[in-house]
Each structure stands twice: as C-alpha cells, then as structure tokens.
Amino acid sequence: MSASVSPLAPREFAELPQLEGVRLATVAAGIRYKGRTDLLLIAFDPPATVAGVFTRSKCPSAPVDWCRAQLSRGRAAGLVVNSGNANAFTGAKGEAAAKASSEAAAEALGCQPEDIFLASTGVIGEPLDPEPFRRHLGPLAQEARGDRFREAAEAIMTTDTFPKLAHKEVTIGGRTVNVQGIAKGAGMIAPDMATMLAFVFTDAKISPMALQTALSEAVKTSFNAITVDSDTSTSDTLLAFATGTAGAEIVPGSADFQSFMEALTEVCRSLAFQVVKDGEGARKFLEVTVTGAETDVSAKTIALSIANSPLVKTAVAGEDANWGRVVMAVGKAGEPADRDRLAIWFGPHRVAFEGARDPDYSEEAASAYMKGSELAVKVDLGLGTGQATVWTCDLTKEYVAINGDYRS
Amino acid sequence: MSASVSPLAPREFAELPQLEGVRLATVAAGIRYKGRTDLLLIAFDPPATVAGVFTRSKCPSAPVDWCRAQLSRGRAAGLVVNSGNANAFTGAKGEAAAKASSEAAAEALGCQPEDIFLASTGVIGEPLDPEPFRRHLGPLAQEARGDRFREAAEAIMTTDTFPKLAHKEVTIGGRTVNVQGIAKGAGMIAPDMATMLAFVFTDAKISPMALQTALSEAVKTSFNAITVDSDTSTSDTLLAFATGTAGAEIVPGSADFQSFMEALTEVCRSLAFQVVKDGEGARKFLEVTVTGAETDVSAKTIALSIANSPLVKTAVAGEDANWGRVVMAVGKAGEPADRDRLAIWFGPHRVAFEGARDPDYSEEAASAYMKGSELAVKVDLGLGTGQATVWTCDLTKEYVAINGDYRS
C-alpha cells in the first residue's frame, strides 16, 4: 500500500444511500494485510438479479471461474470479496478455496453456495487459506448493515490510495432509482476488461438479461476505455446487482431502459476515472481522443496505442508537450494513418497540422498547459469519421518504485 | 545523453577491421548536440550492393521514405547518418532536407543522389536544417578513412551510453569474409522492426537480392526479437552493404550462403543485444523463452507480452521472482494457454508447475537468482511444439527520468 494519497483523489467521497435488502459488513481477517479490513460480505435479501463482465485473461483466477459458472442463474444472495490474495494460479487448491468460501457464506446467509459471488484481489500464485472465511462469514452475516458502502470500498483496496465510490439518482416511471457502486484499482489496469474489481448496486427492477445488456453497454465507454499500464489482471470482475425494490420492471428498448443505462454508464465511468486517478504513481490524468479514423475500432486501437506508450506517458509525467511521441504512437498502432493529414492538440493548443509542426505553435503555451493535472490530447487523422476516447495516467518513478517492491 | 555508462555495457568493444573500398568520417556539425560528433559519412568505392529493413510505422521519417525509394536499385555509393534530429514528421520540409543532404553527399562523392542512403535519429517534429550537410559533407568525403568504425558508432549515438560494434569472420570458399556492424539504441526499442539504426558491412560478394534474403532472415531472431519499451520509432533502419572484394559470389541455397547468413545473424544478434543492454535505464538483461505453444507465432506473441509487461519489468528491476506477473502476462496475450499445464522457470528454478506454485519452489533460491544482471525466464505452455525467444531489459526509475526529461 502506498503511504500518500494520490494528488488526483476526489476532494469528497460520494455518499452512497442504503438500498432496501442490501447489508454490508467488513472485518480485518488477517488474510495478508495487518491492521486493516480485508474481507467484505454483502448480503442480498431477497436475492438480487445479477450481471457481470470479467477479465479476458486466458488464465483467470478461481473466483472468476466460479462467478462465470454461476452467472447464468442470474441470482445472487451474497457477495464475498477479499483483498491481499487474488486466489489466481492456485490450481486445484484455488478452486477448493473458492468453493469453501462460497459454502461458508451460504451457510451464514442460509442460501445455496451457487447464490454466492466471489472476488479476490492481491498477490497471484499464493494458496488462499479458506479458514478466515469459515471463521468470519457467520459473524459478518449477523452484523451486516445497510450504511457501510464506504467501509466496503475500503476493505477491497490493495495498492489503492483512496476508496472509490459513485452514486447517481435517476427518475424512472416517476420513482427515484439509485445506481451506485464501489471499485478498486490500481495496477494491471487495462481494458478487456477493466482490470479491477467493481461492484454496482441498484434498486431498479430489471431482469438478469436486461441488466447484462445494460452493463455490457456501459463498460464500453467506461471500464473498457481506461488503461494504466496495459497489463490485464487475471481477476478483473465487474458485477451488477439489482434488488428490484424501486418500482416497475425496466424493459430493454424502453425510454426507462435508456435512462437506466445512462445512469449505469455514468456510475461506471465515475468509478473507472477514479481507478485511473489512483493508478500506481499517477500524478496526471490524461484523456486521449482520436477522431477522423477510418472506423471507431481503428480510432480506439490508435487511442490505446497512445495511452499505453511508455514514452508518451513519461513525457506527460515530465510535463513535456512532446507531440513527436504521439506521432510515434500513431505510427506504431498499425492502423490506417496518413502522416500528411495528421493534426495533434494538447488541450486547446494545436501543435501539429498537415504532417508537420503547426506554424502557429507556441511551445511556451503548450508547456504551460502541461503543468495542469487533468490533460487532454487529441489526434485527428483526417481520414474518416471513426472516433474514440480513452483515459489513462502518466508513468512516474513512483510507479516503478511501487511495482519493483510489491511483494517484499 | 545519459551521464553514466550502462552497467550491462561490454567490457571491451569489438575491433572492426578495415574493408577495402569503405571509408568513414565523422564531424561535430552542431545539428543539436554540443561538443560531440553528430554527422557520419561512409563512402563505398566502388559502390556496394545494399539491402535494408525498415520500421513498420505508418508515419515513417523522411530518410526512411528516401531509403525505401532507392533500395530497389540495390546500389550504394554513400551513407549519411546524423544524430540529434530524426527528420520525422517534418512534412515537405523534411523531404526537401533529405533530398538536399543526398545531393550534397552525391556532389562530395561524385555519384548520383539516388546512390546515397540516409538515416536520421533524435527529436521528432523539428525541421532538419540541410545547411550543416552542405557545409560538411565535402570535407568529410576528402578526409574519410577505413579505420574509423568506432568513431562512426559514436557519432550516431543519442541517449546511448556506449557505442555498439560487432564483428565476425567467416571462411567461405577458402577465403576470409568479414561481417561487421554498428548500431545505436536506446529508446523506442521494439520489434517490427528493431527500432534503432544499425548498419552492417561485409566484403562478401553477393547480389542485392541475396543480401536482402539473408538480412530479412537474420533480423527475425535478432532485431525483431528484442524490445525495450514496446515503442516503435518512426526511423528504424537496418542497412547491409556488401563490397564484394572477398572472393566468389555467394549464391542463395549454397552452403556458403548458409555460412554467410549465420555470420550475419550473429553480428545482428550481438548488436541487438547491445541495444537492449543499453536500453534507457536498463540494469538487467532478460531473456524470455516460451515453449510448448501451439505455434511459433503464438509463442512469440506470448513472449513479447511478458517482455513488454511493465509489471514484469518492474519486478525484474526490483529483483523480485514474481512469477504471478508472468502468469498475468501469459493470460493477457490472448493466445491459447491452459492455466493447469503452465510451468515457469526463473533461470534453473522451476517456480510454477501444473497451474500452481511448484511444491519444491524455494523463494530464497529464486530471489538469490534475481540478483544477477543477466536473467532468463522460461514458460512452458504444455500445448504443442511452438517456441520463441525474445530479449528485453528491466523497467527502472532511470527510464522514467530519462524519458520525462528528454527535450528539456
């Protein structure tokens, strides 16, 4: 864990209201960390509908395998999350630990193990001892309360420097619906999918399939459009739970569904931005927009090539308006690009135009702009109408320090 | 330029012999750097046959465009290289500067501008003034001598901390043939192609097409198998020049051709390794081997995913045998992999086996191994016979410092 809070942390944390039927509890179970909470139980009574998006890693963690297997049932009575140990690459022992913790949670909550969803984050390859789960989940189920989203967000942190919370109210059919969530980063952050843990809760009434449709759409411009270090974790998990206590069912294709999906996207994007702003060692938040590409897919490939380039990211850390490196990153993406039609902006400053330095470019003005903490780079390719925006942070010495020293 | 020499620098530099008909000269032309040489002219009299491999960037530099246009003629009377300015993304002015410097060299050497090959390295996007070329190339042509390969290697350096030289003698048809070269790194080092400048010289007698065949084969396991930071430059250039003074013609398919290609590969690999060992901020050299993949191509994709992972590279910098990050990098590569068949070694230490930590794994022994400066990671996927090896370096705070501060 890092000693100091990211300078990009929000000034205030979102206040998450209680949702009927959702109770939370955390404990310092000593899974790996000392002196802090590391185990979270959330109970859904009655069971919530559930949807999920997971890592595309070919070597997913045991909890990811477990959640994928249960997801088709669309029903969740409990969520168990631990930090400190990812239960990834732990073989048969890992599967057994996942099964054991879901059984312990099921016993505590009086449901089937298949109604329990799991997530683990932390070190890879160390066996996860199921004993703390057996010992703590019963008491946690007893003491769980509705007003503990902040504590929940804190218990799932690893190298995060601040808890991540977001909330949005939306009026659907004349009734207030809450959409809210918690997340943790902070390394291995790259799209496909978001390389972190995030849990979204809503009191909307919505079927598992409709919730899945909305969630899959929401991740496209939130968790799947961020990158910290291009590394994809084995454990990425985004789960959405809907309790259904807020009014009439939301049906795909309706205006209500659209409103719900927008609120869900907004909450996912807020959480995703917080993950980037707490990227390991991050000092600057960078929005990368590519326009004028042949297709949206091509635009996103180029935007990610820029956002993942170590040379672009170190230039941002150094407050250097080094658009030459942006050209390099466009060039290496392998997508259609014509050097002589390229234009590049740092914020409002157009630095390059038609394949060369902008004649009106002021290095002074661009350099002054780079001193800000929230920056935007835009590239227009001049070829078509494809566009995409992704978000990332700078690459600093602190990133290297944090990651060169994680296990010791 | 970095103040201190890489700890991975060779103890001795290769001595490159004179080759009949090859003369070299360097000068401090003040293109960007002060107090060091930055302009190199090499004269081939009579003209040499030439082959080349260039960056796959979609936004190549003006010199790359120029060389590509001339390459089909297969004939070189001169090579002009400058450091300090890449003449990349400089639009029509850049093309004009390339043309002007080739004309100045042609005048100095008494040949056609199309017989001149060009390479530029340094800052992107700044117009390159052709005036120093016009002023210096005449005198350089006069004073050029055969014994200046070391000076040539020094003149083309940018953030390199040591000059890169390699030499190999091979007996072909009873006569000694020399294959030798110079190269520079040190940022934007990634395959496709080697993201640097390298020039190879031989007195072998070989046609341009045969030379191209040999060179294209040699890069596969040398320059196209190294990566420092996954960034691909706009200027990558590898040129091979053959003077033809050493005996009978080498014809593709012959045993002589095979011997020549092996020597060429060895020289390219030596230069490529030196480029990695002088990677910006590099403190450790890492060989990544993947075996048991479904295909060689799949093995290389996974090997590069490991070698380019910031989390793997920072773990190496921190001397941390963090094989969990290797699993992560295997997983994110998107290639066929089965967690439960995976085995991972750090040097001789098998740390993971059949999807879990090796029961005989000694963290102490693995940690002791990681203190070395030349390290090997091996991953066996247990799926097929595909394999690949790539080479990279660690990611250190010095990399960030060098690249956060390059233009200022």
What's the pLDDT score for residue B316?
93
Contacts of A328 in chain B (CB under 8 A): 57, 59, 124, 188, 231-234
What is the mean pLDDT of the segment spanning B166-171?
96
Identify the closest residue of chain A to B319 by CA–CA distance.
Answer: A404
Of residues A184, A187, A192, the one with CA closest to residue A395: A187
Whole-number pLDDT of residue B280: 79
Question: Which residue of B32, B55, B56, B57 to mutate against A (max A Cβ within 10 Å)?
Answer: B57
Q: Which CATH architecture has domain B285-403?
A: Roll (3.10)
More confident residue, A88 or B79: B79
Nearest C-alpha in B relative to A402: B314
Mean pLDDT of B363-368: 91
- Beta strand pairing call for A39-54 and A75-85: antiparallel
**pLDDT tens per residue across span B206-225:** 999 999 999 999 999 999 88
Contact A58 B334 (CB under 8 A): yes
Distance from CA of B39 to the nearest CA of A (A): 22
Q: How many CB atoms lie within 10 A of CB B11?
A: 4
Is the ipTM, as predicted for this complex, more than 0.90? no
User: What is the spatial distance between Cα B151 and Cα A136, in angstroms, rounded to a whole number?
Assistant: 70
Report pLDDT digits (tens) over B85-120: 989 888 889 999 999 999 999 999 999 999 999 999
Spell out where A173-248 has E strands.
175-184, 197-204, 237-246
Cα four-point dihedral sign A356, A359, A364, A368: negative
B195, B232 contact by CB (below 8 A): yes
Residue-range domain boundaries for chain A = 22-277, 285-403
Say how far apart CA A58 and CA B336 lie, in whole Å.
7
Residue in B37, B159, B195, B202 annotated catalytic: B195
Q: CA-CA distance, A278 to A273, in Å (whole number)?
A: 9
Partners of residue A59 in chain B, C-beta under 8 Å: 327-328, 330-331, 337, 339, 342
What pLDDT score was predicted for residue A324?
84
End-to-end CA, chain A: 12
- Binding site for substrate, residues of B? 158, 184, 195, 280, 403, 408
Contact A356 B89 (CB under 8 A): yes
Measure CB to CB from residue A124 to each of B55, B126, B324 and give the nearest one. Answer: B324
Q: What is the pLDDT of residue A2?
A: 44
Contact A164, A182 (CB under 8 A): yes
**Contact A68/B at CB under 8 A:** no
Residues B182, B299: Cα–Cα separation, whole Å: 30
**B interface mutation test: which of A59, A305, A342, A405 has the most B CBs within 10 A?**
A59
- A323 touches B at CB < 8 Å: yes
Do residues B302 and B333 lie in contact, with contact meaning Cβ atoms separated by under 8 Å?
yes
Q: Does B233 touch chain A (CB under 8 A)?
A: yes
Q: Does B335 touch chain A (CB under 8 A)?
A: yes
CB pairs under 8 A between A and B: 233
Q: What architecture does CATH give domain B22-277?
A: 4-Layer Sandwich (3.60)
**How far is residue B116 CA from its own chain's centroid?**
21
Contact in structure between B97 and B31 (CB atoms under 8 Å)? no
Q: Is B92 on the interface with A (CB under 8 A)?
A: yes
For residues A9 and A278, is the Cβ–Cβ distance under 8 A?
yes
Question: How distant is the Cα of A205 from the closest Cα of chain B, in angstroms?
Answer: 35
| Paired strand residues for A85 | A123
- Note the pLDDT tens digit of each residue in B339-363: 889 999 999 999 999 878 898 888 8
Please name the residues in contact with B227: beta carbons below 8 A apart, sequence gap of 6 or more: B189, B190, B191, B304, B307, B308, B390, B391, B392
B202 a catalytic residue: no
Judge if the upstream peptide bond of residue B105 is cis by omega within 30 degrees of 0. Answer: no
On the question of pLDDT at B371 being above 60, the answer is yes
> What is chain A's mean pLDDT, rounded?
90
Interface membership of B401 toward A (CB under 8 Å): yes
Looking at the predicted structure, is the pLDDT value of residue B375 above 60? Answer: yes
Residue A199 in tokens: 């849990």
Q: Alpha carbon A215 to chain centroid distance? A: 13
Q: What average pLDDT does chain B have?
A: 90
A335 CA to chain B: closest CA distance, Å? 8
Run of H or E residues at B176: strand B175-184
Please tell me the distance from the alpha carbon of residue B326 to that of residue B346, in angstroms, as a whole number: 10
Cis peptide before A46 (omega within 30 of 0): yes
Question: In this complex, is the C-beta atom of A126 within 8 Å of any C-beta atom belonging to chain B?
Answer: yes
The pLDDT assigned to B193 comes to 31
Within its chain, how far is the Cα of B101 from the centroid? 24
Evaluate if residue B191 carries a pLDDT over 50: no
A330 contacts B59? CB cut-off 8 A: yes
Q: Which residue has the higher pLDDT, B126 or B31?
A: B31
A363 shares contact with chain B (CB less than 8 Å): no
Q: Chain A: residue nearest B93 by CA? A: A356
SS3 content of chain A, % helix, strand, coil (to 5): 35, 30, 40
Q: What is the DSSP string of B279-343?
A: STT---EEEEEEEEESSHHHHHHHHHHHHH-HHHHHHHHTT---HHHHHHHHHHT-S---GGG-E
Residues of chain A with pLDDT under 70: 1-3, 186-195, 228-232, 405-408
